[in-house]
Structure 1
Amino acid sequence: MEQTIPEVIRTIPLQHYIFFASALFSIGVLGVLSRRNAIIIFMCVELMLNAVNVLLAAFSAYRADPNGQVFVFFIMAVAAAEVAVGLGIIVMIYRNIQNTDVNLLDRLKW
C-alpha cells in the first residue's frame, strides 16, 4: 500500500517550511545572544527547539515517513524536562539575587 502526502502539506511548498523554520531559529539565536534576561533567553531556546520541530514534521510529511514525527515527540519530551528544570533554576536565582539578569550571576560564585 502506497502512502500519500496529505493534501494540506502538498499545497504548501517545502521551501516555505524551510524559510519559516530558519526565520524562527534565527530569531531564537538572536534572542539568546542579545538578551540579558534569563526568562527571555529561556524562551528563545524553546523557539529554536520549535523551529527544529517544524522542519522535522514537514520533512516527515513530505516523505510520508513517520520517523520525523517520532523525533518531534522526543524533542517535546526533552523540552518539557528543560522547562521544569530551567524554571526551577530561574526561580532559585531570583530568590537569591532578586533579579533574572544573567550578568548578575557572578554573585553566585563562592
Structure 2
Amino acid sequence: MHLAYPAVLSVLLFSVGLYGVLARRNAILVLMSVELMLNSVNLNLVAFDVWLRDALHAGQAFTLFIIAIAAAEIGIGLAIVLMVYRNRGSSDVDRLRDTAEAPDGTPDDTGATSPAQQTQKAEATA
C-alpha cells in the first residue's frame, strides 16, 4: 500500500475536524470535531507504523493510548456539556461565559459587577 493515500485521507479528516472546532458553536459538535481530529492522527500513526514495518508496533500502541484518552475525554466532555445545558438551557459555546464576565458590565444575580465584589458581598452576607 502506498503511504500517500492514508496520509491524504488523514489530512482531509483533520482539516474537516479543525473547521468544525473553529466554525461550530454547539459544544457537542465541537467535541465530535475533536474526535475526528484524533481519529485522523490515529490513521496517520497506523499508516506510518505499517509503512516503516516497526518491530515494536509503536504506532499501534500510541493509537490504543489515544483511543483510551479520547474515550475519557468524551465521557467528561459530555458530562460537562449536559450540566451546562441543564443550568443554562443552551450548549452554545459563545454563551458559556460566566455571568460575572458580562460583556456590557451589567451586574450578575448578586448585584456585583466583578468577581472581587461578588466575594466581598458573599462574605458580608455569611
Local SS of the residue matching 1:36: coil
Matching residue's letter, 1:78? I
Identity %: 46
1:79 maps to 70
For the pair 1:92 / 2:83, whether they are aligned, the reply is: yes
Q: How many corresponding residue pairs?
A: 99
Change (3 A) 1:100 1:61: same
Q: How far has the Cα of 1:107 moved from its partner?
A: 4.3
**Deviations 1:33-73 (CA, angstroms, capped at 9, x unpaired):** 00100000000000000000000000001112111000000
The answer for unaligned runs of 5 or more in structure 1 is: 1-9
Local SS of the residue matching 2:90: coil
Please report the TM-score for the alignment, with normalisation by the length of structure 2: 0.75
Normalized per residue, the structure richer in helix is: 1
Give, in whole Å, the separation in 2 of the partners of 1:16 and 1:47: 18
- Higher RCO, Cα 8 Å, sep 6+: 1
For the pair 1:18 / 2:7, whether they are aligned, the reply is: yes
Local SS of the residue matching 2:97: helix
The answer for unaligned runs of 5 or more in structure 2 is: 101-114, 116-126
Matching residue's letter, 1:29? L
Matching residue's letter, 1:92? M
Matching residue's letter, 2:44? L
Give the root-mean-square deviation of aligned CA atoms.
1.2
Change (3 A) 1:48 1:108: farther
* Larger Rg belongs to: 2
2:17 maps to 28
Please report the TM-score for the alignment, with normalisation by the length of structure 1: 0.85
